[in-house]
Chain A
């Protein structure tokens, strides 16, 4: 079974430019997460989807970040315009609740460098 697939793996952009990340979750997983991880820190939740509905976006900087999950499968995360402080690894994860079981599986991440 394929895991969570993210693209691109790496992205270098100049500040003020837009950037987009794509995520394809594990088949059948209803819950999709976008996390941001800075060096030496744990992942920080940006947004969580249940199917196509964003149920928690309280940590998403809405002035420049947007996300969508059309049809409740693939998702994209966009930053426009990017700032130097946005340099980080952006991780997508998915999970499927089975009883009390909600383990999240991560993709390989997109390492963003804003110069």
Chain B
């Protein structure tokens, strides 16, 4: 089992819809969880982080964490074409290593 897994893409949603990105992790002792956005040919850019169970909202983005089920998700409301990118889930494990998932490619169709 890979340490961090993400739902396979590509994911396509129409403009204005909600995009849902999922991530699961294997280390139950993981403490911190991050979502990065990576445009093609660019470096990853941090967009959200979450440490506690529940929801965390920032503008159109909502991160959801469920440590019991070992999953973290990212919801993007009112998706825009500019949201089209690869979204990387990153997990800081119990041994202080930040592990990235393979990424999910999102395409928002105008």
Which residues of A are interface residues toward B (Cβ below 8 A)? Answer: 33, 35, 40-45, 48, 55-56, 91, 100-109
Contacts and interface: CB of A to CB of B under 8 A. Distances in A.
Given A42-B88, A43-B88, A105-B46, A100 B32 contact: yes
Query: Which DSSP category, helix, strand, loop or mixed, fits chain B's interface?
Result: strand
Given A42-B103, A43-B44, A103 B49 contact: yes
Interface stretch (B14-22, B63-71, B75-83, B91-99): B91-99
A42 B102 contact: yes
B103 A45 contact: no
A108 B31 CA distance: 27
Contact of B100 (A43, A55, A56, A105): A43
Nearest to B89: A42
Contacts of B43: 91, 106-109
Contacts of A55: 96
Interface string B21-44: 000000000011010000000111
A51 to B, nearest CB: 14
Interface of B: 4, 31-32, 34, 42-46, 49, 51, 88, 90, 92, 96-103
Given A56-B97, A104-B46, A106-B45, A41 B32 contact: no
A60 to B, nearest CB: 13
Nearest to A89: B43
B51 A100 contact: yes
Contacts of A102: 32, 92, 98
Nearest to A42: B100
B102 A41 contact: yes
A105 B45 CA distance: 7
A110 to B, nearest CB: 10
Contacts of B32: 100, 102
B100 A48 contact: no
A33 B98 CA distance: 9
Contacts of A108: 42-43
